[in-house]
Amino acid sequence: MKLVKMMFAAVLLMASGFALAGNPIEDLNNVAVPSKIDGTVLTFEEVRAAIVRGCKDRGWKPELASDGVIKASILVRNRHYAEVNIPFDSKSYSIQYANSDNLDYDAEDHTIHRNYNKWVVYLSQSIQKAFDI
């Protein structure tokens, strides 16, 4: 009976370790910029404006890092900080991990708290919504 309890405790310990492990960071690369309703392509400036609007709508703070790259950051519950780079052109954009604090980032395994990937997906959805011009 003692052996069974020890094995059960070991299984619980392993399971809790897996629950605490981070998720792989899932950058979004080359997400297509949709065309306007009339079929024309958005200009570089329109894409930049839509990305900025989408960031703000989702609570991210965008700033122009360089021509064709927006850096956006978010602070959730005054505790969890994430920063992404958003390189873009008139055809596509990407959302790539840049930095974080208090999100259990592991550089060696390239993992992070599970909510980070959700935040990035929601950010992309807000950007896509902002393209509806």
Q: Is residue 18 part of a domain?
A: no
Q: Tell me, what's the pLDDT at 21? A: 63
Give the tens place of pLDDT for each residue, 110-125. 999 999 999 999 999 9
Look up the pTM and report it: 0.83
Q: Tell me, what's the pLDDT at 20? A: 53
Q: Is residue 12 part of a domain?
A: no
Number of domains in the chain: 1
Q: Is residue 29 part of a domain?
A: yes
Q: Is residue 8 part of a domain?
A: no
Q: Is residue 90 part of a domain?
A: yes
Strands (E), 1-133: 23-24, 28-32, 61-66, 69-76, 80-87, 92-101, 111-112
Structure tokens at 12: 């619980």
Residue 78 lies in domain = 24-130
Q: Is residue 7 part of a domain?
A: no
Of 38, 133, 39, 50, the closest CA to residue 92 belongs to 50
108 confidence band (pLDDT: 50, 70, 90): very high
Residue 97: other Cβ atoms inside 10 A: 19
**For residues 40 and 14, which has the higher predicted lDDT (pLDDT)?**
40
Q: Is residue 5 part of a domain?
A: no
Give the tens place of pLDDT for each residue, 48-95. 999 999 999 999 999 999 999 999 999 999 999 999 999 999 999 999
Output the domain CATH number for residue 122.
3.30.310.80
